[in-house]
A = this chain, B = another copy of it.
Amino acid sequence: MSISMKPLGARVVVEPLEQEEITAGGIVLPETAKEKPQKGKIIAVGAGDRDEKGNRIPMDVKVGDTVLFAKYGGTEIKIDGKKLLILRESDLLAIID
């Protein structure tokens, strides 16, 4: 998927992945009332925030990473009919394989 979008600061663009209900090795969200993460693929990464000296703080994720992120976060957009999310890196919980 070609995307011509550059997230600003420490933001990333994530394409949400459908979640299998039960799989061996897959991530399955429980049925409880706790906050549930979502799985997605990173398709664009910002340059990172600046530290107090104005230098960029490097991002810990890169394009292609599959990540878990908090469900409530981010801003939803649509490109070519595809639903995407703009999230801050701090809303990402973990990189999974």
Contact mask for chain A residues 39-80; partner B; CB cutoff 8 A; 1 contact, 0 none = 000001011001111110110110000011010000111111
* Interface membership of A35, Cβ < 8 A: yes
Q: Contact: A75 with B36, CB < 8 Å?
A: yes
**Copies of this subunit:** 7
Q: List residues of chain A with CB under 8 Å of any chain B CB.
A: 4-9, 11, 13, 22, 24-30, 32, 34-37, 44, 46-47, 50-55, 57-58, 60-61, 67-68, 70, 75-81, 83, 86, 89-90, 92-97
Q: For residue A57, which residues in chain B have a CB less than 8 angstroms away from its CB? A: 50, 54
19 A-B pairs besides A5-B97, A11-B93, A68-B86 with CB distance below 8 A are A4-B97, A6-B95, A7-B93, A8-B61, A8-B67, A8-B95, A25-B80, A28-B77, A28-B78, A28-B79, A29-B78, A32-B76, A37-B77, A37-B86, A50-B57, A54-B55, A54-B57, A68-B77, A86-B94
